[in-house]
Chains A and B, each alone.
Chain A
Amino acid sequence: MTSHAVDAEITTARNPVSALRRLRRHPLGLAGGLLLLLIAGFCFLGPLLHPTNQTDVDLLNAALPPGPGHPLGTDTNGFDVLGRLMAGGQVSLQIGLLAALFATTIGTVYGAVAGLAGGVVDGFLMRLVDVMLSIPFLFFVLILSARFHANTLSLSLVIGGFSWLLSARLVRGEVLTLRVREFVLAARVMGASRRRIILTHLIPNALGVIIVNITFQVADAILVVAALGFLGFGTTYPTADWGSQLASGVTYISADYWWLIYPVGGCIVLTVLALNLLADALRDAVGRRAD
């Protein structure tokens, strides 16, 4: 789940606006973005076209195979699976986005402080990151999830609270490279204040890296939510994230209720795929690789 460690290479940033313009030259990234829009539309606008009752249990129409009225069948509570996918997608996307925002905010501040402070403070802060990174992420999150009641906010906090470490490293690296770049040095020579340097030079220039990072984080967070739901630590009635939906499909796998597995599985894969494609293209657009 933290496999972006593999490609946590430091990229140099440029202006994000021109980067967006360059994104047009990435059809695959564009496809990812488009797919993501489609999925978001499916989850948030879909219920308008296909309104379903996702709160009243329908005992007699539980676990129906796909058929008229229920294009993807019903689940074991009698909820329409297609409608459930939309509702679950809202939860999963919200958690993914919130967790990524939490993680990136903490990571950016932490990394910037470390990078700017330098010396002993930087050393200590980054060793702490090393320590945290060495504890398997899933173990940590599971221990906390077992204890606390899962809802959108608590899940985002737990996931975000343990996935800011890579952002911190990235941002620190970025700040370190920018610190010695000509325009910052020039500003310094011209007597600009430290705050001014941070606000007008460092942050805008690091923004590209941050945006790319958020996109990856959303994808990772959605996978983590799915894993937690699958292991039985997801959200409960009346909400149900995609992972929890999949988990109920697992229970009935020997009963061959296939429509409880494939549609929701497909949603998870497509969403993560779209986010990864977009993030890759963004990274490419934001900057070239460090030489």
Chain B
Amino acid sequence: MTHVSGRQLSAALAAIAVLATACTGGGGSTKDVAGSYATPPKQTGTPKDGGTATVALTPGLSPNYIYPYPPASANGTVIARGLMWRSLYRPSGAGDQIIDAELSLAEQPSYSPDRKTVTIRMRDYTWSNGTPVTADDVVFSFALLKAALAESPANWSFYTPGQFPDGVSAEATAPDTLTLRLETAYNPSYLLSMLTLLYVMPSKEWNIARPGGPHLDYTQPKHAKAIYKYLTKESESQSTFASNPLWQVVNGPYRLKSFDSTTGSFSLVPNESYKGPGDSRLDQIDFKAFTSAAAVLNQFKAGNLTVGTLDSSFITQIGALKAKGYNVYGAPAPARFDSLTINFKNTAGNFDKIIAQAYVRQALQRLIDQQGYIASRGIYNGAGSPNYSTAGNGSPYPPAFGDKAPFPYDPAAAEKLLTDNGWKVVPNGSTTCERPGTGPGECGAGIPRGQTISFTLASANTPAYVGARDVAFASAAKKLGIDVKIVTKALNYMYANYGNTFAPATTNEWAMQDFGPLYLAAGYPSSNTVFNTEGSFNLGSYHNAEVDKSIDASTFGADAKALSTEVTRLAEDLPVLFLPTPHTLVVWKDTLSGPQSSFNALLSFLYTPELWYFHD
């Protein structure tokens, strides 16, 4: 900047004046929150044919893949999952059942007495080219899933080595009858929830390894591998997604009309041959990708969106949205739980020894003021529900204690837990272990005299309530002389670096992490892979022999109620610290309607636009 001569004191005054005017602009009053969104609006109006609905995708979710099983190395986000290629069983959108029988491609499975032979009758569905969806197609899908896993176990995120689809052989015993033979019997509910993840693909059109090539026998692994290579290769070319004839053969209610590889937005048009429920009255569905939740809100306010979801940070906007002609419905998503994931292997400051003590976890859980977090204008702003279990709110497998939480907010009780077990609590200072040892009233194994409690909590940088609730927790801990160091990280950084199963080298960098929500399978919220000792997704190396046993029972046993025992046991043992579940808001134009359940299903990211229609 050029030099200003010394006489220009007036300039400085003018500068301050400009600043002052800038500072008085804007502002406005703040409104108190009214929870006027808890009841879903009823289905209304006389259905009209036609119209285009514009749907907002979850912010940050930018589809870039079309083949239903993207390899890990592609990091693919699949376009319109479940809308073009239906899975054998459609997951239930309500969250109180495992499957939505009406929208599934097959009847409920029947089991042999030893539960090792499963017979599945296909229902009457057709591919978009008019040929029926057969048991052979399911066998083909099995073969390709296995080919993907043979290439890398990371290629399917629901996979545990040695479990489904390992040890499962599929055979088409008739065109409409599929027989699964299992080496190990599964709990029928668990197997059903796995089958909701099996997308059925066209065996007659996709069993090739090059364009116009010979149709291969996919039951041979080497052919299945070649087919898999070919299909994933075709899926690397985003510009041909809408034009490649391969991808036009669908069994779901929609097919791809156009795809914008720059943003990940895409348009679907009805598959005329679809025979399932729903009138598919809408001409076209445009799915729009967004980079931020604020952007979704802006598009709602501009009236450019028909349907979408918003997170609880936007609770203050409900009034504005309703004024713009939108319906707003909010609830906690089924089988969603938010938690501080604990790393039981972090040895920094003897954290592993300290956190191994159940009383420490109980004390920390008692520092979490769930009602306070929900009420606070800075965290949930009223849009949340207390939750103390891995099964989430309103689960068909509730914990035995019901809504009487085992360790509710009670800082005095937390302090007592520590003092009763040999700690000298110094509020706002450093709480230290006074009575080391393993006897009653002593700190516990491996905790020396003078030990302090100090650890790192990695907090996701988005959405805003994550950071806010973690700060509130750290502040409560500080009052008890426990030092919680918060580090803010991008979600993807946490996904790549914080988990003992995949990144053992960084285990001492995090003692707890808050990456936002974890969704278990809504209809059957088993924590298999998440909390069993050998689980492939057991990020914090949690280990409890009793829990292992109950997870085994809910996965392999015959008892349908085993899962309730598992959920209860976990809630009492605290493998994680439970946080309240924020509400998800479902927003849609009041000129659009459909069954209540179809909007409720948006909480679980399940879209059923074939049931929607515009009305006057």
A29 touching B316, Cβ below 8 Å: no
Partner of A146, one of B6, B294, B468, B490: B490
- On whether A28 and B4 interact (CB within 8 A), knowing A57-B472, A59-B378, the answer reads yes
- Tell me, yes or no, whether B117 is within 8 Å of chain A by CB: no
In whole angstroms, what is the CA distance A270 to B18 when docked?
11
- Tell me, yes or no, whether B487 is within 8 Å of chain A by CB: yes
Partner of B7, one of A27, A62, A237, A270: A27
Query: Which A residues are CB-close (under 8 A) to B475?
Result: 55-57, 77, 237
A76 touching B464, Cβ below 8 Å: yes
Query: Which B residues are CB-close (under 8 A) to A270?
Result: 19
Query: Which A residues are CB-close (under 8 A) to B9?
Result: 27-28, 31
In whole angstroms, what is the CA distance A29 to B9 when docked?
9
- Tell me, yes or no, whether A177 is within 8 Å of chain B by CB: no
- On whether A63 and B378 interact (CB within 8 A), knowing A29-B6, A254-B316, the answer reads yes
A266 touching B19, Cβ below 8 Å: yes
Tell which of B21-29, B281-289, B396-404, B586-594 binds the partner.
B21-29
Distance (whole angstroms) from the CB of A290 to the closest CB of chain B: 14
Query: Which A residues are CB-close (under 8 A) to B4?
Result: 28, 277, 280
B464 touching A237, Cβ below 8 Å: no
B464 touching A273, Cβ below 8 Å: no
Query: Which B residues are CB-close (under 8 A) to A149?
Result: 487
Tell which of A39-47, A92-100, A189-197, A255-263 binds the partner.
A255-263
Partner of A62, one of B12, B316, B377: B377
Task: Count how many pairs of residues, one from A and one from B, have CB atoms less than 8 Å apart in the complex.
Answer: 121
- On whether A27 and B6 interact (CB within 8 A), knowing A60-B375, A237-B474, the answer reads yes
B30 touching A257, Cβ below 8 Å: yes
Scoring A25, A28, A59 by chain B CB atoms within 10 A of each residue's CB, the highest score goes to: A59
Partner of B378, one of A78, A265, A266, A284: A78
B464 touching A251, Cβ below 8 Å: yes
* CB nearest neighbor in B for A259: B27
- On whether A59 and B472 interact (CB within 8 A), knowing A31-B9, A78-B378, A146-B490, the answer reads yes
B376 touching A60, Cβ below 8 Å: yes
| Tally of contact residues, B, Cβ under 8 A | 52
Query: Which A residues are CB-close (under 8 A) to B464?
Result: 76, 248, 251-252
In whole angstroms, what is the CA distance A247 to B313 when docked?
15
- Tell me, yes or no, whether A65 is within 8 Å of chain B by CB: yes
Distance (whole angstroms) from the CB of A258 to the closest CB of chain B: 4
- Tell me, yes or no, whether A20 is within 8 Å of chain B by CB: no
A59 touching B12, Cβ below 8 Å: no
Query: Which A residues are CB-close (under 8 A) to B493?
Result: 146
Query: Which A residues are CB-close (under 8 A) to B153?
Result: none
Tell me the B272-331 residues at the A interface (CB within 8 Å): 294, 297, 313-314, 316-317
- Tell me, yes or no, whether B373 is within 8 Å of chain A by CB: yes
Tell me the A214-254 residues at the B interface (CB within 8 Å): 232, 236-238, 248, 251-252, 254
Distance (whole angstroms) from the CB of B320 to the closest CB of chain A: 9
Query: Which B residues are CB-close (under 8 A) to A167?
Result: none
In whole angstroms, what is the CA distance A255 to B26 when docked?
12
- Tell me, yes or no, whether A283 is within 8 Å of chain B by CB: yes
- Tell me, yes or no, whether B191 is within 8 Å of chain A by CB: no
* CB nearest neighbor in B for A263: B23
Can you list 25 contacts pairing A with B, beta carbon distance less than 8 Å?
A6-B1, A27-B7, A28-B6, A28-B8, A57-B471, A57-B475, A75-B378, A77-B468, A77-B472, A149-B487, A232-B461, A236-B486, A236-B488, A237-B470, A248-B464, A252-B464, A254-B294, A254-B314, A254-B317, A256-B27, A257-B30, A258-B27, A258-B28, A265-B23, A277-B12
Binding site for A on B (CB under 8 A): 1-4, 6-9, 11-12, 15, 19, 22-23, 26-30, 294, 297, 313-314, 316-317, 369, 372-373, 375-379, 428, 459, 461, 464, 467-468, 470-472, 474-476, 478-479, 486-488, 490, 493
Binding site for B on A (CB under 8 A): 6-7, 25-29, 31-32, 55-57, 59-60, 62-65, 75-78, 146, 149-150, 232, 236-238, 248, 251-252, 254-258, 261-263, 265-266, 269-270, 273, 276-277, 280-281, 283-284
